[in-house]
Structure 1
Amino acid sequence: MKWIDGEHILKLNGINHWVRIEGGQHNTIPLVIIHGGPGGNHYTFERIVGPLLSENRTIVYYEQRGCGRSERPVSDEDYSLDFLLKDFKELINWLDTKKVDLLGYSFGGELALEFAYECPEKINKIILSAPSLMNSEIQRLVQITGFMSVANEKLYQQIIDFQRKDISPEKILDKIWEQVDTETVDLFLFENQEIAKKNRMLWEESKLINTGLMMRSLQKHPLPISLMDRLKDIHQRVLIIAGVFDRNTGIPIAKLFLRSLPNSQLVVFDKSAHFPDLEETDKFVHVVREFLDD
């Protein structure tokens, strides 16, 4: 199929989704980019990393239901994984291609693995950048430790007090997110604060807001069998990218995926936190291209 570059509005599973194709003239296996959040968007990625990847590959961006420039479902409950899987299958049908590659960042990495598990015959290779493991105890502990490492004295002491009161990690995180300021969030997500400022500028420029509805729905309706218990059945080649300073998902989660996915490899970025694509863009593009072209 010859893909036409530009923005498209596709009705997938009854919801209008924002889709953008770049590099269609290359006619390669499409690289579908899956954003994180949950509830995020592609605005920053499509302005910094995407144009470099599309120099020699066909890139497909799509924003999940209720995210970014895509339409919100009528019900605030219609964000479950079942809906996201059905949306993705219809996107692949529209692309009319035998296989696609996947690049998912943060929660998008976790979602990419769910897609690969659900329709393995359609997935070629998978790239996970700083993948999350939502609803897991290990991710909560990584995040709490991460916040402690960048917190001011007041926040640090509050976290210590929460732990002494035997408050659960889930509730401690809720309390942290309720009170952290933008400076602390930037320190948490980025090692290079100049890159953090550029990222925040693009967030504000986009005027796109994460409603939090998808996060709440996914937390409310977790799958009966955890993703970790199904990773052994995902046999595609998987590249895992992790920033050594990632305080959000972290090296421990990347190592868990590496150990559990039978055909995976890990590349650690030594100057990055949660966004290697932004903090070490040239290296990120080189590593992704090398993996896809191999």
Structure 2
Amino acid sequence: MATDPLSAGEHLLEVDGRPQWYHVAGRGPVCLVHPGGPGLGWEYLRMPELETHLTVVYLEPIGTGRSARFDRADDYSIDRYTEFLGRVLDHLAVPAPLLLGHSHGGFVAQTYALSRPERLGGLVLYATSPATGPDFWTAAVTNVQLFPQQYPDRPAAADIPPAFRAALTADTDAAYCEALRRLLPVYLADPWGERSLLEDVQHGLRAWVAPSRAQEPRPFDVRASLAGLTVPSLILTGAHDFICGPRWAQALAAAIPDARLVTFDDSGHLPHVEEAHTFAATVAGFAHGRQPGPN
């Protein structure tokens, strides 16, 4: 196993005696990436095009892969994820790295940036939101229920609401992962336009159910705190994202001083897959201090 914390390959860090794995690829300025879920393996967020511009450090979140496990689902809290993320950043010892958080990983990234802004050179909030709660979840569930109506000629679209319910009630890792694979079409802007894209994401998806069952003591909401955030911030959203779409990206942009907002018109929740080239150029441009891509 590599001893240089930024050498290419997989790395193991012990955090208070518990394993925290991460993976390094690419070269250039360092960008630490926290996946979403909670409970998703890091592989779905692999960004080969971005690796041609940056050294990308993919965190293997607690509760997934070979990283730490906890006895209670509620131990997988945003604060706990933030603690492990911070220990990895300290271990890397890189001045002013970029931090990218996708979806639930964006909640973790916001929490870390608010607590230790001096450690970061930039923040990328990707397909995420500054708040959850009744409005957030009602809108997401409504979009799931309406999905079959968008594709009346696609029998597979009718499976999306049942797949969503199956994901909520799954009690094994295998059942949870299978339900999410069935649910993946709702995450894409054009799930059947390029069949290989959907199949590739489904094939690479791994998931663990325990972290998904965690209950925070209160809904996530950092809107009031973001006004004091001093870290340069880039906000990325897909125009067709059913759960963390433009409404929530605009809320982030309104809350964070001088934040840049980029909308990917042909994407849902996964622009790094759906518009990979533009996505990589946008993040790399931000990392190198240039203006991001098209709005």
One fold, TM greater than 0.5? yes
* Cα shift at 1:182: 6.5
Shift of 1:16: 0.2
**Residue 236 of structure 2: SS of its match in structure 1?**
strand
2:260 alignment counterpart: 265
Instruction: Tell me the secondary structure at the aligned position of residue 268 of structure 2.
Output: coil
The CA distance in 2 between the partners of 1:39 and 1:182, in whole Å, is: 11
Give the structure 2 partner of residue 275 of structure 1.
270
State the partner residue of 1:121: 118
Tell whether 2:217 aligns with 1:221: yes
- Describe the superposition over 1:10-59 as per-residue Cα deviations: whole angstroms up to 9, x where unpaired: 112332011112235x4x3x20001000121211222xx1x222223221
Q: Cα offset for 1:177?
A: 4.7
1:72–1:291: structure 2 CA closer, same or farther, 3 Å change rule?
Answer: same
CA distance in 2 between counterparts of 1:215 and 1:184 reads: 17
Does the residue aligned with 2:283 lie in a helix, a strand or coil?
helix
- Partners of 2:181 and 2:68 in 1: CA distance: 31
Q: In terms of mean alpha carbon deviation, does 78-87 or 282-291 score higher?
A: 78-87
Q: How does 1:1-294 map to 2 (within 5 A)?
A: 3-23=6-26, 26=28, 28=29, 30-46=30-46, 49=47, 51-133=48-130, 135-151=132-148, 177=168, 185-193=183-191, 194=195, 195-203=197-205, 208-211=206-209, 213-217=210-214, 219-222=215-218, 226-294=221-289
Separation in 1, partners of 2:217, 2:67 = 22
Please state whether the residue corresponding to 2:11 is helix, strand or coil.
strand
Give the 3-state SS of the residue equivalent to 1:108 in structure 2: helix
Contact 1:13–1:86 (Cα < 8 Å) also in 2: no
Q: Which amino acid aligns with 2:236?
A: I
What is the CA-CA distance between 1:183 and the residue it aligns to?
Answer: 8.3
Q: Give the distance between the partners of 2:181 and 2:70, measured in 1 at CA.
A: 33
> Does the CA contact (< 8 Å) of 2:232 and 2:259 recur in 1?
yes
Alignment correspondent of 1:164: none
Per-residue CA deviation, residues 230-277 of structure 1 (Å, 9 max, x unaligned), is 111212111111111111221111111111111211111111111111
AA aligned to 1:185 is: L
1:151 partner SS: helix
TM-score by length of 2: 0.80
Structure 1: how far apart are the matches of 2:99 and 2:86? 13
TM-score under structure 1 normalisation?
Answer: 0.80
3-state secondary structure, aligned to 1:11: strand
Against the structure 1 CA distance between its residues 188 and 115, is the aligned structure 2 distance closer, same or farther, given a 3 Å change threshold?
same
Secondary structure of the residue aligned to 1:98 is coil
Is the CA contact 1:80–1:221 (under 8 Å) kept in the aligned structure 2?
no
SS in 2 for 1:61: strand
Q: Deviations over 1:55-108 (max 9, x none)?
A: 232211111211233131244442122322221221122112222211111111
Query: CA 1:253–1:10 in structure 2 vs 1: closer, same or farther (change >3 Å)?
Result: same
Residue 163 of structure 1 corresponds to: none
Which residue type is aligned with residue 269 of structure 2? H
Kindly indicate whether the alpha-carbon contact (under 8 Å) linking 1:236 and 1:263 is maintained by their aligned counterparts in 2: no
Change (3 A) 1:181 1:120: closer
Letter in 2 for 1:129: Y
3-state SS of the aligned residue for 2:13?
Answer: strand
Matched positions, count: 266
Distance between the aligned counterparts of 2:127 and 2:51, measured in 1?
A: 21
Secondary structure at the counterpart of residue 43 of structure 1? helix
Distance 1:11 1:2, change over 3 A: closer
User: Identity of aligned pairs, percent?
Assistant: 24
Q: CA deviation digits over 1:111-141, x for unaligned, max 9?
A: 1111101111101111122114563223213
Q: Unaligned 5+ residue runs, structure 2?
A: 171-177, 290-295
